[in-house]
Amino acid sequence: MLKYMEFTAKTEDEAIAKGLAHLGLDRDDVSVEILERGRTGFLGIGSVPAKVKLTYEAPDEPAPAPRPEPVAEVRPAPAPKAAPRPAPKPQGAPRPQAEKPAPAPRAEPVDDDVAAAIVRFQTGLFQHMGVEAVPVVTRDGDTYQVVLEGNNMGALIGHRGETLDAIQQLTGYAVNRGRSHRVRIHVDAEGYRARREESLYRLARKTAGKVVKYRRNITLEAMNAYERHVIHTALQDYPGVSTFSTGTEPNRRTVVAYDPGKQ
């Protein structure tokens, strides 16, 4: 179920941060729409606060019945996953390419109802897809990290990670359905996320340099929520630049804006 809330603050960034703190969500969990840009006025006179609209996916509340099913059926599931877990060789390859994904491989294996529900759902999904893949679940804070292991992982990654994103989204819907507390799920294969993040990071910094040099806004190509989050994070401390998203899915784009007040 999609819900939205509006928040106001002195600047767009402060309003977004205020909204994320109130909802308890991350930047990539919401779609941000700038309703009104903040203006400081002259000596505080005529100032206008910034106003943003945060749209997010909320779990269906009146569905407590399904909760016992994952616990009862899923308990046996972690046992067969013990065999592939000791062989993290596919995870070792991407480490030299990027430092960011390193914490996930170091995390201890997870053996709880959420991890078991993830394994059960994805195993059934891959059987329907006719793909041999094993989901290995670890945990990093409040996020469940899922690394898909097997041969021909390119079929599960898809063009620009579109298939991987779809698997991640479907898994989130299936696991969070009927839960009062929403969990975040991050799905990766063959270190794709790290390589894509590095590419987006370079794009963000290069674009920001042009924005500051020519003092004009630049709108990037359409990206999914995960990729837009990488751009926002890469430029959150970049002097003279701010970012916001515009448009509707699946053509929502990130705008890298010239912001002389941000130094």
From residue 53, alpha-carbon distances to 119, 202, 214, 215 in Å are: 35, 29, 29, 27
Question: Is it the case that residue 139 has pLDDT exceeding 50?
Answer: yes
Strand order in the sheet with 184-189: 134-140, 143-149, 184-189
DSSP annotation of 110 reads P
pLDDT in tens, 13-59: 888 888 888 887 777 777 777 888 777 655 556 667 888 888 777 66
pTM: 0.52
CA distance 12 to 52: 7
Tokens matching residue 156: 């599960």
Strand order in the sheet with 241-246: 218-222, 253-258, 241-246
pLDDT in tens, 171-230: 999 999 988 888 999 999 999 989 999 999 999 999 999 999 999 999 999 998 889 999
Say how many C-beta atoms besides its own lie within 10 A of residue 4's C-beta. Answer: 13
Q: Which residue has the tokens 């507390």?
A: 181
CA distance 127 to 14: 45
